Amino acid sequence: MGFQVRERGGGSVRFSIEGVEGLPEVIAGADLAGLIVGALAEPLEDGDILVVTSKIVSKAEGRIVHADDREQAITDETVRVVATRENPAGGAPTRIVENRLGIIGAAAGVDASNAPDGTVLLLPIDPDASARSIATGIRSLTGARVGVLVSDTLGRPWREGQTDVAIGAAGVRVFDDLRGQADASGKPLAVTMPCVADELAGAAELVKGKSAGVPVAVVRGLGHLVGDLDLPGARSIVRPADRDMFRRGADEAYEEGYRDGFDEAQAEGPLREA
Amino acid sequence: MGFQVRERGGGSVRFSIEGVEGLPEVIAGADLAGLIVGALAEPLEDGDILVVTSKIVSKAEGRIVHADDREQAITDETVRVVATRENPAGGAPTRIVENRLGIIGAAAGVDASNAPDGTVLLLPIDPDASARSIATGIRSLTGARVGVLVSDTLGRPWREGQTDVAIGAAGVRVFDDLRGQADASGKPLAVTMPCVADELAGAAELVKGKSAGVPVAVVRGLGHLVGDLDLPGARSIVRPADRDMFRRGADEAYEEGYRDGFDEAQAEGPLREA
């Protein structure tokens, strides 16, 4: 399988995360693997994992449009509208949509933060391919068998605030699949499948921050999660809508049901007397 | 405010997470603060954050019932049914519910994993109070100004797998509120409010695992997130249902809409001719 076996119960389990500072401003066509390797304070080792903010991937891939085209860009990136709500700040309503990648989020990931003035950034076309390209480049430059995650900031239902999650992955297990294993008391862990890629992306946010100009973090000490470059990517984290209990906003689903119920009652004709 | 100012753009940002091993089996009435301090390999320092799995908090608080009473326990813990689905493994349907704490999850957090044979564990009554009690105890025992999170494993809409999140917090900022700050290009970060407590809980899962018997992790190097014990707890992460676009399952909302629409059409009487 190409994985190291995770050492459980023996030895101390410890990892560290460090922000990579001093990266130059990324422009279209930039060689991210080279820029990252050049900015590292310490050499990479087998099993290190790099978490790269999608912003700089988008910039390197030229995924940038004029801010005037923002609403159109959101529409273009949208596969399915999941829910909409009035924007408390005024202006266009907030659109929660499923984008080309199957990812559900506000504004299809189209974002003005950290984009050059007058522009907005779109998400990378294929973040798993972006991650693979960066991982291949870094492995080639350094000889170290590293993994790469591409992260983005997403809100979520039911809980306030945002967390960073993985939208691209290469050479990293995205799930630590414990199904079939047993807990400490010997009972099978039937449904436990921690999404370690999302946990890593969130952990990296703790050092990257949003405004500090630290778009890359290095995770050291979790080499058991690093594997071959053909491991499933972050696309495998996305749950298909037809298996998702929350595939539409509650208001939107209610309104569709209301219309259908109303139409059905009318089609049945006059109310029969009891 | 009692916070250290986060150093942005100056100096290297780095933190580490280590699992605390060798904790004894936790039984009802156990002094968790004392057990954790006794198991630590290195002394705690100001700014350290302990992430404690809710399982051992539940055990210490005696939140345990017979497995035969599982379905009733779920019902007792449930404030509102959000969605239900057939269990592919057979047996009782999976219930996604809002529990006493406002947390939405499967089976109201009632869980047999890592519970003694024939029993299931309930979530702590008030995980913020549990976190405060542990933090107070550890601060008193060690003199170190530490923060404490109580974590639990939750599934989420739209994305496969689970992540650990914070259900209790004391002495830790649960959000790194960037609203009003500017990004690297000077634009205001209007809606950015990373839920650092959830990111920390997820990061700790990476060392704790589910079956390794490592129920506590120590985070070192993020002291800017540690503050007074009266900071808002993890309860403040929970979004009230009336402000949540996904407060009900799509099927459930559709069905309610359908019934209402049907009834409304019938109440309007016979279809008027156009």
Cβ atoms A49, A225 nearer than 8 A:
yes
Of B6, B12, B161, the CB nearest to A237: B161
- CATH number 1.10.260.30 given to B16-55+127-238: no
Q: Is the pTM of this model over 0.95?
A: no
Condensed to tens digits (0 to 9), the pLDDT of residues B202-211 reads 999 999 875 5
Alpha carbon of A44: minimum distance to chain B alpha carbons (Å): 16
The closest of A242, A213, A212, A156 to A24, measured between CA atoms, is A213
Asked if A249's CB is within 8 angstroms of B245's CB, the reply is yes
Mutate to test the interface with B, among A98, A113, A219, A236 (most CBs of B within 10 A): A113
Both structure tokens of B165: 């999140």
Residue A5 confidence (pLDDT): 35
Asked if B89's CB is within 8 angstroms of A113's CB, the reply is no
Chain A residues within 8 A of B153 when measuring between CB atoms: 192, 194
Residue of chain A with shortest Cα separation from B87: A191
Mean pLDDT of B26-44: 96
Of A41, A115, A198, the CB nearest to B159: A198
Asked if B271's CB is within 8 angstroms of A266's CB, the reply is yes
What interface predicted TM-score (ipTM) does this complex get?
A: 0.91
DSSP states of A163-199: EEEEEEEESB-S----TT-B-TTS-B-TT--B-HHHH
Q: What angle do CA B38, B40, B46 make, to 5 degrees?
A: 105
Residue B112 confidence (pLDDT): 84
Number of A–B residue contacts, CB under 8 Å: 345
Asked if B248's CB is within 8 angstroms of A159's CB, the reply is no
Cβ atoms B120, B64 nearer than 8 A:
yes
Condensed to tens digits (0 to 9), the pLDDT of residues B181-226 reads 776 666 666 667 999 999 999 999 999 875 567 999 999 999 999 9
Q: What's the mean pLDDT when you consider all of chain A?
A: 89
Residue of chain B with shortest Cα separation from A223: B206
Residue of chain B with shortest Cα separation from A8: B212
Give the helix/strand (H/E) hosting A271. Answer: none
Asked if A258's CB is within 8 angstroms of B260's CB, the reply is yes
| Cα(A213)–Cα(B8) distance, integer angstroms | 9
Long-range contacts of A27-32 (CB under 8 A, 24+ apart): A27/A59, A27/A60, A28/A59, A28/A60, A28/A61, A28/A62, A28/A64, A29/A60, A29/A62, A30/A59, A30/A60, A31/A60, A31/A137, A32/A56, A32/A57, A32/A60, A32/A134, A32/A137
Give the helix/strand (H/E) hosting A106. Answer: strand A104-106
pLDDT confidence band for A274 (50 / 70 / 90):
very low
Residue A197 confidence (pLDDT): 98
| Cα(B213)–Cα(A186) distance, integer angstroms | 12
| Cα(A205)–Cα(B192) distance, integer angstroms | 12
Condensed to tens digits (0 to 9), the pLDDT of residues A222-262 reads 999 999 999 999 999 999 999 999 999 999 999 999 999 99
Q: Is residue B221 left, alpha or beta, with left meaning phi > 0 and alpha meaning psi from -120 to 50?
A: left
Question: DSSP 3-state assignment of B102?
Answer: coil
Both structure tokens of A189: 């862990």
Condensed to tens digits (0 to 9), the pLDDT of residues A163-182 reads 999 999 999 999 997 666 77
Partners of B32 in the beta sheet? none
Residue B25 predicted with pLDDT over 50: yes
Residue A270 confidence (pLDDT): 64
Alpha carbon of A219: minimum distance to chain B alpha carbons (Å): 9
Asked if A257's CB is within 8 angstroms of B258's CB, the reply is yes
Chain B residues within 8 A of A187 when measuring between CB atoms: 112-114, 117
Domains of chain B, residue spans: 16-55+127-238, 64-122
Of B156, B183, B222, the CB nearest to A114: B183
Condensed to tens digits (0 to 9), the pLDDT of residues B250-263 reads 999 999 999 999 99
Mean pLDDT of A10-32: 88
Asked if A258's CB is within 8 angstroms of B253's CB, the reply is no
* End-to-end Cα, chain B, rounded Å: 67
Asked if B178's CB is within 8 angstroms of A210's CB, the reply is yes
* End-to-end Cα, chain A, rounded Å: 67
Chain A residues within 8 A of B250 when measuring between CB atoms: 244-250, 253
| Cα(B123)–Cα(A134) distance, integer angstroms | 42
Torsion sign, CA atoms B107, B110, B113, B116: negative
- CATH number 3.90.1660.10 given to A64-122: yes
| Cα(A8)–Cα(A5) distance, integer angstroms | 9
Residue B10 confidence (pLDDT): 42
